[in-house]
Structures are given as structure tokens and as C-alpha cells.
């Protein structure tokens, strides 16, 4: 299972939110590049980079941060937030992203998301499904839709969807454990999807339990920044599970 630390960006700074609420913003570093380097120094290969300014606006806002991390590290970067137009996704790849996550656009403009999957390939495009009570949320989690998660995923499996990041917003930033039951439900119905868990990871025990579920990966955010999980522990986990 891939260990994928998260860096969320507002105004070029590394921050974390609680339950996706922008009013709960907590700044952890003014240098996302230094944070990314520290991940790489401990054997981590992957990064989930989210442009939160872009997520609630009409396009990417923090592509310079992406450029710097891509230039100064060898991390394989999944970039999301503000990917709403063809020019946004091209800018993300041009700035150094290895993969791009489409969230809101996958809900509001499914034809565009399908076109991206066809144009760039299913290895390059990740579907981001952010949920509250198994209903999809969009626009930086600020807006709820009436769309149920499983039928939503079904519509993309017919297009050979390969990668999915599913975030239970009620768990995000709470350090109370991931939505194991939700992920099991997704795996049972769509075993062909490479599922990446996001939200709620609070301990190495959580990661060990997710690894036993044979997930593609797990995104870890606040648990690292709050010292619940050390980079040294993650380094040992990566070595043991490879």
C-alpha cells in the first residue's frame, strides 16, 4: 500500500482544515517545498498536493508551489484543486504533476472528465469522490450534491476508471480513524478500482488496518503534522511492506 502524505495549500502555505471547513485553517509551514523534501528524505515516493484556493475558485491558483516541489524533489505528485478547464489540467501536468485528480468537474461536467480520461489516459487521471453521508460534495467541500456515491462511481467504471481517492469529509482532520466500512463497501462493489483512502488516519494502527484491506494507498495529513505519526515510523512501514 502506498503511503501518500498530503500537503494542502492556501496562499502558498502548508495548512490543514478540519472537516473541510476553511474557517478552521491551521498553518503548519510557510515552505511546502521543505515539507515535501522531508517526506522524500524518509523514503516516501508519493505526494497528494491540493490547491485549496483553486478548489473554491474558477481555476488553479498555486501552480508555482507544484512547480517548485516537482523541481526540487523526485516525488510522484498527484495534484488536485481548481482543475475545472482544459487549460487547468494542462497547466498541472506542465507544472510537474504525475497525476491529476478531478473532483467537482467529475460531478458538474462528466463529459469533460471523460474527455480527460480519454486524452491523458486512465493512469493519469484520478477520480476524487468527497462524501458526506455517502453523498458527493463539491467546490472545496463547500457544496453538497444529491448524488449518491456508488451510482456515481458506477458511471465511471463503464469508462475503465482506474484510480479513486475517496474522502469521508466527516472524518477529515478529526484524527478519529478512517471510514473502513465505506472503503470495504467500495471494494466489494468495484474490486477493479485502485482505491486510495483519505480522511481520518490517526495512527500507525489505522494504516496497518488499511494495508490489510489491500488498498492501493492511504493519504495521511494531520496525523503527521500533529505528531501522531512520525516520518520515521512511516519509513519503517514502507520498508516492511515493500
Q: What is the DSSP letter of 28?
A: E
2, 1, 20, 18: which is closest to 136 by C-alpha? 20
Neighbour-count burial of 93, counting CB atoms closer than 10 A to its CB (0-12 exposed, 13-18 middle, 19+ buried)? middle
> Which residues make Cβ contacts (< 8 Å) with residue 37, sequence separation at least 6?
72, 73
Looking up cell 460531478, which residue turns up?
107
Distances (CA, A) of 82 to 43, 44, 63, 105, 118: 29, 25, 10, 9, 20
In the residue annotation, 21 being an active-site residue is answered as: no
From 8, 51, 78, 168, active-site residue = 8
Report the distance separating Cα 28 and Cα 6, nearest Å: 12
Report whether 13 contacts 32 (CB < 8 A). yes
Chain CA centroid to CA 161, Å: 16
From 51, 53, 130, 206, active-site residue = 130
Residue 27 burial (CB count, 10 A)? 11
Catalytic positions are 8, 130
Amino acid at each position: 500500500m502506498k503511503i501518500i502524505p498530503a500537503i494542502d495549500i492556501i496562499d502558498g502555505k502548508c495548512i490543514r482544515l478540519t472537516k473541510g471547513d476553511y474557517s478552521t485553517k491551521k498553518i503548519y509551514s510557510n515552505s511546502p517545498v521543505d515539507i515535501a523534501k522531508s517526506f522524500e528524505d524518509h523514503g516516501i515516493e508519493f505526494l497528494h498536493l491540493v490547491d485549496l484556493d483553486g478548489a473554491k475558485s474558477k481555476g488553479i491558483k498555486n501552480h508555482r508551489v507544484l512547480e517548485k516541489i516537482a523541481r526540487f524533489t523526485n516525488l510522484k505528485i498527484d495534484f488536485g484543486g481548481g482543475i475545472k478547464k482544459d487549460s487547468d489540467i494542462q497547466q498541472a501536468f506542465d507544472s510537474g504533476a504525475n497525476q491529476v485528480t478531478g473532483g467537482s468537474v467529475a460531478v458538474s461536467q462528466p463529459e469533460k472528465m471523460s474527455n480527460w480520461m480519454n486524452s491523458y489516459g486512465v493512469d493519469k487521471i484520478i477520480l476524487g469522490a468527497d462524501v458526506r453521508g455517502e453523498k458527493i460534495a463539491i467546490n472545496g467541500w463547500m457544496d453538497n450534491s444529491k448524488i449518491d456515491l456508488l451510482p456515481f462511481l458506477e458511471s465511471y467504471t463503464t469508462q475503465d476508471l482506474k484510480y479513486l481517492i475517496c474522502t469521508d469529509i466527516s472524518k477529515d482532520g478529526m484524527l478519529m480513524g478512517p471510514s473502513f466500512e465505506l472503503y470495504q463497501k467500495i471494494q466489494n462493489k468495484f474490486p477493479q478500482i485502485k482505491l486510495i483512502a483519505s480522511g481520518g488516519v490517526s495512527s500507525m494502527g489505522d494504516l496497518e488496518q488499511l494495508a490489510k484491506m489491500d488498498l492501493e494507498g492511504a493519504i495521511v495529513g494531520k496525523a503527521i503534522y500533529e505528531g501522531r505519526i512520525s516520518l520515521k515510523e512511516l519509513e519503517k512501514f514502507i520498508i516492511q511492506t515493500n
